[in-house]
Amino acid sequence: MDADEILRVATSSYWVPPDSERVVGDGYAVVRYDNGFAYDTGVYEIESDLPAAQIVAEVEQLAVGWGRPAIYWNGLTEHTRPADLVHLLLDRGGEELERLAILAIDLAGRPAIDVPEDVTVEVPLDRAGCTASAIVAAEGFERQPAAVTAEQIAGQRHTVESGAGVSFVAYLDGRPAATGGTTYVADGRVAKLWGGASAGWARGRGAYRAVLEARLAAACDRGCEIAVVGGRLGTSAPILRRAGFRQYGEEFMLRVPVGDDAR
């Protein structure tokens, strides 16, 4: 895949829980999350020929109808279309919440990642495993943990059984220490890694590396050609580079208020 394809895959694949509403517009998609996800109204797949003002108005109408005070615009890059969208979002009070390095690795002949022997890794398929994953993710992404529902557990099992993706949880000293998932996209050619996080107390002990190695090994077993991931610049990106990932650019998220809070 060339650099443009990698950037497109990195910014166009995202999580849509089974119980969430997804609205597809002309060159963008909006997801309403109802499971305690902090970024509860997300805009994705932004590549449109519509005027920026029209896109913003359409998305804000959805958010107001859902009773949401803000919109989270994801996968923004210097190549986002329309070209003036980012400027308009910033002018409306947009705040950058996250900036990620877009990284990819060729899975053919990749070196295995060194993982400490005291780290164990499992695929969470029951309530205990899914709860462990949720606890680590909540700490890693600085949000309140939400109770795991039966629907989420069933969704996780379906994802694994259907071959659409897989998640892992790493344990240290019997405690959940890291988590991360993979979705297989582009006709199975690409493993899109997401949700990689470590508990604060476990950082530096190899738990994140263990989950990364498990995801890459699973992608190789499935026949994927490359793995793509967005890594936080100050935390996971350096680990990913040491594991052989190459950076192709950056993407960022803007939180834009709506209603009375908007400029």
- Which pLDDT does position 145 carry in this prediction? 72
- pLDDT string in tens for the chain (263-residue length): 788 888 888 877 777 776 789 999 999 999 998 866 778 999 999 999 999 999 999 999 999 999 999 999 999 998 899 999 999 999 999 999 989 999 999 999 888 999 999 999 999 999 999 999 999 988 877 677 778 888 888 888 999 999 999 999 999 999 999 999 999 998 899 999 998 999 999 989 999 999 999 999 999 999 999 999 999 888 889 989 999 999 999 999 999 999 766 66
Separation of alpha carbons 94 and 111, rounded Å: 41
- Which pLDDT does position 13 carry in this prediction? 73
Q: Are the folds of 3-101+251-261 and 109-224 the same?
A: yes
The continuous run of DSSP H or E covering 122 comes out as strand 120-122
- Which pLDDT does position 263 carry in this prediction? 60
Distance set, CA 166 to CA 52, 141, 223, 262 (Å): 36, 20, 14, 38
Q: Is the pTM of this model over 0.95?
A: no
**CATH number of the domain at 3-101+251-261, out of 3.40.630, 1.10.760, 3.60.21, 3.40.50?**
3.40.630
- Which pLDDT does position 262 carry in this prediction? 64
Phi, psi of 209 (to 5 degrees): -60, -35
| Three-state secondary structure readout of 156-213 | HHHHHHHCCEEEEEEEECCEEEEEEEEEEECCCCEEEEEEEEECHHHCCCCHHHHHHH
CB 175 within 8 A of CB 199: yes
Q: Which residues contact 71 (CB under 8 A, 6 or more apart)?
A: 41, 42, 43, 59, 60, 63, 255, 256, 258
Check whether domain 109-224 has CATH 3.40.630.30, yes or no: yes
The CA-based dihedral angle spanning residues 92, 35, 175, 179, taken in that order and rounded to the nearest 10 degrees: -60
Separation of alpha carbons 86 and 72, rounded Å: 12
**Structure tokens, 165:** 């993706």
Per-domain residue ranges of the chain: 3-101+251-261, 109-224
- Which pLDDT does position 144 carry in this prediction? 72
